[in-house]
Amino acid sequence: MTAPLIRIGLRTITLILSGLIGLHSVLASDEFTPSSQVSSVRMSVASYERIPINTLLARPDHYQMREIRITGTVLAIQTEIIPNRMICGSTHEQTTLTVEDDSGQIEIIDQGACGKNVGALKAPMLKTGQRIDLLVRIMITTNLSSSGSSVEATIRYINLPRD
pLDDT tens sequence across 37-60: 444 444 578 788 899 999 999 999
CA distances from residue 68 to 26, 34, 40, 47, 137 in whole angstroms, order as listed? 20, 10, 16, 10, 7
Q: What is the mean pLDDT of residues 22-51?
A: 56
> Phi, psi at residue 38, to the nearest 5°?
-95, 115
Q: What is the mean pLDDT of residues 64-84?
A: 92
Classify strands 104-110 and 67-82 as parallel, antiparallel or unpaired: unpaired
User: Do 135 and 68 form a contact (C-beta atoms < 8 A)?
Assistant: yes
